[in-house]
Amino acid sequence: MLILDRATYDGIVAHAKRDHPDEACGVVAGPEGSDRPERLVEMVNAAGSPTFYEFDSTDLLALYRDMDARDEEPVVVYHSHTATEAYPSRTDIGLAMEPRAHYVLVSTREHGNNQGPVEFRSYRIVDGEVTEEDVTVVDSLPAEHPIATNPATSQGDPDAR
């Protein structure tokens, strides 16, 4: 299951609508191994195409350097389809190199740049095999240490003292 906070979900949808009819693409980075999509990074579709997306290679290199420096990984890799359903194309499947990432597909085919619902779906793509998963949108991501359920004994904000 993919859990996204509302602001990140809205950001991805807004990006897809803005770039329609071209495909929009980007990443949501998060701490390595955390499965927490925390930092939305809109990327440029270097292909500038309504049927294909391609991260700009310079931007992609910069992104990976930045994520390395922050001990982050791409938790979500998203792009939009603007005329077809929100399902990975054969090209998308062939390009999916992150077995731990959630591959999000947004389809703007119904409302384009305008207000209105989009199809928003998430997949795991491992060795060419596509598995859809549920998407849950929450107001904010759960605390990083859900074990600390008692606020009286939890350590709270490590920066507080």
Interacting residue ranges for Zn ion, rule: CB under 5 A: 89, 92
Contact 112, 106 (CB under 8 A): no
The residue among 5 and 22 lying less far from Zn ion, judged by its C-beta, is: 22
The residue among 94 and 156 lying less far from Zn ion, judged by its C-beta, is: 94
| Distance in Å, CB of 81 to Zn ion, minimum | 5
DSSP SS3 for 69: helix
| Distance in Å, CB of 106 to Zn ion, minimum | 10
| Distance in Å, CB of 129 to Zn ion, minimum | 17
Two tokens at 153?
């004994």
Torsion of CA 38, 27, 62, 91, to 10 degrees: 160
Report which residue's Cβ sits closest to Zn ion: 92
The residue among 36 and 102 lying less far from Zn ion, judged by its C-beta, is: 102
Q: Say how many Å lie between the first and final Cα of the chain, rounded.
A: 36
